[in-house]
């Protein structure tokens, strides 16, 4: 053996020191811990496809953002095609493939079906978007919802209307409620019927008009609104119907002081801006929205802009924000539990307390039923074809414009 | 004889299947058997008696809501609640049938009538507060116990219930086809005027077909309610569900006994298989499955317009009724 190959005393000491240091390091630092396997179920095709794909964009950027925050996750995404039957079988498939937490599913029906499977298999489900109140009233032990119920949505939405009147010193005299006659629209109608009289609203609600969201012609419904003399319109739209509704208002020169939704989709979708151009401006949606002043939201926005340069984070923010948060909640629980065991994660989820998160509202925590009651809403007004937070003041990036300017002078 | 042997083998395989497969294939098999059952129920009306119904989701929904509401409100176990569920659905079916057949609303016009009833029942349930309205009706989750009478338990319980229901509906259909009523249905399906001229009471025979079909379908609804534990009017009474119900018997073979079962197997496995293949090859773009699935259905309908079972039955050398 040559001198060159023989270890010197100094080398031996250095080697021993390195070995000692390595032994002192936690196991996780030496061999990277396996990632938490999150199964995501969304309606990426079928009639809920636009929203499902929007949520999916949040899923696609989540692993990198979570990694920057110190969480390692592996994501398996499946599409339940807006079909409740498939939601159940896809949940079974994800769990059979080793998913330790499920996230989903945008739609209350699909979410309820998935919840059954999660409960049977003792695998936690963190809901990103689903508003049916009963989901967390059924006695599930493995279901956690970081999303407001439809009643919470409407209550927050109505409260923000009052705040807007106060902030602008303008109060309408009478309002009319026009809503889609589907499940979500009817649920909103029931919530408004129940809550409106109890919230001391400063205007009277003269009527409620239901319409088929698939109808191509809303001229009769808009004519009824105009004939009622209401100077404030509350709407619950779904998607394309929001465009048809506003077009008809422009056509009939119906110019209320404001058009406000207490939390429905439609008026902050890209299709709405593309379809209406300048007429999309000044319409308002009161709903949970990312707090763009929060550092984590900026981080998420940067990741979104890098990955999806053709999409606008400001438009996808609602779906992306809640979907990312659901994954953050799951990863945080696994980290605190120090385990990827679904039961241990479920146990840790019960003591969730996340202050630094994306959406407006207080800390993310769950009550005994698995519901987060700290989710706030924001008044999101379309300004220059961009959804912009105008209330509450601490999250606002612009001032509310109310009453809204007339249609004249705007361009489609 | 050969057909019975083949059926026996299939039934035996299905009996032992849960021991050999995991939770996901079991869930898929439950879905297959559920739609096979509903297909058999629909086939009684269209396949045997020639009455086109495009609103069978009505009976699924009525069965589901009646049994679930009785269970949630009065604790009536599912198997007992199935009786009033079937009665309500049968009465609804008889009402539609009487309206249609008495006033000679036939063919596609009768189909439109069935759609109309399903739609306005959906709207009715959307506004019925005590069943949750449009926000849906939910059954409480019960942990850790199995009760066949109440239909509470793990997926394997529902698998055997679905298997039992499908087998029973198959046997009942087979038996019915060999009765005087069954032959009357076939005669009406081929030519109602000739059947009437031959002494068949067309009205009564058609009403009987509607009654049997709606009652059987409602039991499928009871299964749905207790398997999923939640129901929304928009989903359970939807036109899409009615179409899903009729796809299996059309693809499998209208008017055949085994057609709905075969059709359900083919359609569900085609759907799941396409999903798995697309995922495997990294092609799982939204909508890709639907395109492939639609093209596959188009090919099946073009190549085998009478359905898959008559062709397969010939290849296997068994009677087309299986």
- The CA distance from A55 to the nearest CA of chain B, in Å, is 13
Tell me how far CA of residue A77 lies from CA of A57, A84, A94, B65, in angstroms: 11, 16, 9, 33
Kind plus residue range of the DSSP H or E element containing A127? strand A125-127
- Can you tell me the mean pLDDT for A90-99? 93
* Exposure string for B16-26, b = 16+ CB within 10 A, e = fewer: eebeeeebbbb
What does the DSSP 8-state code read for residue A405?
Answer: P
Calpha distance B50→B195 (Å, rounded): 13
The pLDDT, as a whole number, for residue A269 is: 86
The pLDDT, as a whole number, for residue A73 is: 95
* Contacting residues of B for A108, CB less than 8 Å apart: 136, 232
Domains A36-148+292-350 and A151-287+378-395 share a fold: yes
Cross-chain residue pair B155–A120, CB shorter than 8 Å: yes
- Residues 6 or more apart whose CB falls under 8 angstroms from that of A177 comprise A189, A192, A205, A207, A208, A209, A233, A234, A235, A236
Residue ranges covered by each domain of chain A: 36-148+292-350, 151-287+378-395
Nearest CA in chain B to A115: B228
Here the contacts of B139-148 (C-beta below 8 Å, separation 24 or greater) are: B139/A138, B139/B68, B139/B71, B139/B72, B139/B225, B139/B226, B139/B229, B139/B230, B140/A138, B140/A139, B140/B72, B141/A116, B141/A119, B141/A138, B141/A139, B141/A140, B141/B229, B143/A119, B143/A139, B143/A141, B147/B77, B148/B79
Q: In the A/B pair of chains, how many CB contacts fall below 8 A?
A: 109
The pLDDT, as a whole number, for residue A215 is: 84
Q: In whole angstroms, what separates CA B13 from the centre of its chain?
A: 22
pLDDT tens per residue across span B5-53 = 888 999 999 999 999 998 889 999 999 999 999 999 999 999 999 999 9
The pLDDT, as a whole number, for residue A25 is: 46
Q: Which pTM value belongs to this model?
A: 0.83
Question: Which neighbouring-strand residues pair with B122?
Answer: none
Calpha distance A249→B55 (Å, rounded): 36
* Exposure string for A21-42, b = 16+ CB within 10 A, e = fewer: eeeeeeeeeeeeeebbbbbbbb
- Residues 6 or more apart whose CB falls under 8 angstroms from that of B179 comprise none
- Residues 6 or more apart whose CB falls under 8 angstroms from that of A42 comprise A52, A53, A55, A56, A59, A77, A78, A79, A80, A104, A105, A106, A323
* Contacting residues of B for A81, CB less than 8 Å apart: 289-290
* Contacting residues of A for B275, CB less than 8 Å apart: 78-79
**Interface residue ranges in chain B relative to chain A, Cβ cutoff 8 Å:** 22-24, 26-28, 31, 123, 126-127, 132-136, 138-141, 143, 154-155, 228-230, 232-235, 271-272, 275, 284, 286-287, 289-290
The pLDDT, as a whole number, for residue A47 is: 78
pLDDT tens per residue across span A22-48 = 444 444 444 566 899 999 999 998 878
- Can you tell me the mean pLDDT for B247-264? 93
Comparing CB atoms, the residue among A86, A116, A132 nearest residue B136 is A132
Nearest CA in chain A to B144: A120
Name the token pair of B112: 């439109």
Cross-chain residue pair B228–A183, CB shorter than 8 Å: no
Higher pLDDT, A147 or A189: A147
Fold assignment, A151-287+378-395: Rossmann fold (3.40.50)
Cross-chain residue pair B24–A132, CB shorter than 8 Å: no
> What CATH class has A36-148+292-350?
alpha beta
Which pLDDT band, with edges at 50, 70 and 90, does A50 fall under?
confident
């Amino acid at each position: 053996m040559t001198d060159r190959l023989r270890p010197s005393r100094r080398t031996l000491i250095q080697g021993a020191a390195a070995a000692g240091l390595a032994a002192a390091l936690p196991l996780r630092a030496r061999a990277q811990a396996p990632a938490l396997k999150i199964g995501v179920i969304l309606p990426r095709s079928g009639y809920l496809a636009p929203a499902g794909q929007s949520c999916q964009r949040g899923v696609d950027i989540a692993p990198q953002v979570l990694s920057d925050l110190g969480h390692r996750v592996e994501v398996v995404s499946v599409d339940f095609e807006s079909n409740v039957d498939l939601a159940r079988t896809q949940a079974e498939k994800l769990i059979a493939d080793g998913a330790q937490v499920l996230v989903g599913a945008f739609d209350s029906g699909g979410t309820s079906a998935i919840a059954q499977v999660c409960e049977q298999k003792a695998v936690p489900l963190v809901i990103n978007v689903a508003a049916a109140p009963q989901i967390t009233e059924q006695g599930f032990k493995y279901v956690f919802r970081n999303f407001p119920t439809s009643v919470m949505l409407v209550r927050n939405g109505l409260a923000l209307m009052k705040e807007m009147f106060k902030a602008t010193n303008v109060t309408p005299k009478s309002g009319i409620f026009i809503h889609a006659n589907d499940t979500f629209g009817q649920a909103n109608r029931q919530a408004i019927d129940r809550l409106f009289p109890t919230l001391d609203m400063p205007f009277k609600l003269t009527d409620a008009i239901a319409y088929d969201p698939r109808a191509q012609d809303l001229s009769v419904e808009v004519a009824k609104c105009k004939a009622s003399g209401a100077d404030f319109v509350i709407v619950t739209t779904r998607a394309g119907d929001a465009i048809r509704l506003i077009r008809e208002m422009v056509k009939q020169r119906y110019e209320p002081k404001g058009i406000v939704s207490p939390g429905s989709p439609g008026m902050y979708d890209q299709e709405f801006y593309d379809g209406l151009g300048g007429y999309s401006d000044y319409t308002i949606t009161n709903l949970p929205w990312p707090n763009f002043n929060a550092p984590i939201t900026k981080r998420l926005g940067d990741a979104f802009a890098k990955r999806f340069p053709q999409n606008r984070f400001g438009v996808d923010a609602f779906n992306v924000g809640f979907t990312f948060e659901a994954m953050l909640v799951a990863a945080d629980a696994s980290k605190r539990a120090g385990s990827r065991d679904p039961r241990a994660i479920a146990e840790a989820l019960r003591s969730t307390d996340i202050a630094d998160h994306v959406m407006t509202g207080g800390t993310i925590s769950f009550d005994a039923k698995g519901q987060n009651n700290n989710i706030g809403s924001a008044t999101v007004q379309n300004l220059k074809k961009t959804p912009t937070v105008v209330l509450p003041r601490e999250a606002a990036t612009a001032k509310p414009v109310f009453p809204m300017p007339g249609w004249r002078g705007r361009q489609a | 004889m050969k057909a019975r042997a083949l059926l026996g083998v299939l039934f035996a395989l299905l009996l032992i299947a849960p021991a050999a497969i995991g939770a996901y294939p079991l869930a898929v098999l439950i879905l297959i058997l559920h739609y096979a059952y509903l297909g058999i129920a629909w086939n009684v009306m269209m396949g045997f008696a020639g009455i086109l119904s495009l609103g069978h989701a009505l009976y699924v929904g009525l069965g589901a809501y009646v049994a679930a509401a009785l269970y949630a409100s009065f604790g009536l176990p599912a198997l007992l609640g199935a009786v009033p569920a079937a009665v309500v659905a049968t009465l609804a079916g008889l009402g539609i049938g009487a309206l249609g057949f008495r006033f000679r609303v036939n063919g596609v016009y009768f189909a439109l009538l069935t759609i109309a009833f399903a739609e306005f029942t959906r709207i009715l349930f959307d506004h019925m507060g005590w069943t949750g309205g449009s926000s849906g009706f939910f059954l409480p989750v019960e942990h850790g116990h199995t009760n066949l009478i109440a239909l509470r338990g793990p997926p394997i319980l529902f698998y055997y219930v679905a298997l039992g229901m499908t087998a029973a509906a198959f046997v009942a259909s087979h038996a019915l086809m060999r009765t005087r009523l069954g032959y009357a249905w076939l005669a009406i399906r081929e030519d109602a005027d000739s059947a009437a001229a031959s002494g068949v009471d067309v009205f009564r025979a058609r009403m009987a077909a509607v009654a049997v079909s709606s009652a059987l379908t409602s039991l499928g609804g009871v299964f749905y309610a207790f398997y999923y534990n939640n129901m929304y009017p928009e989903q359970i009474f939807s036109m899409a569900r009615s179409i899903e119900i009729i796809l299996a018997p059309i693809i499998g073979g209208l008017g055949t006994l085994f057609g709905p079962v075969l059709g359900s197997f083919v359609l569900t496995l085609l759907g799941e298989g396409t999903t798995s293949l697309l995922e495997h090859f990294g092609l799982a773009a939204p909508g890709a499955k639907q395109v492939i699935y639609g093209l596959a259905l188009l090919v099946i309908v073009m190549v085998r317009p009478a359905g898959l079972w008559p062709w397969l039955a010939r290849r296997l050398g068994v009677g087309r009724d299986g």
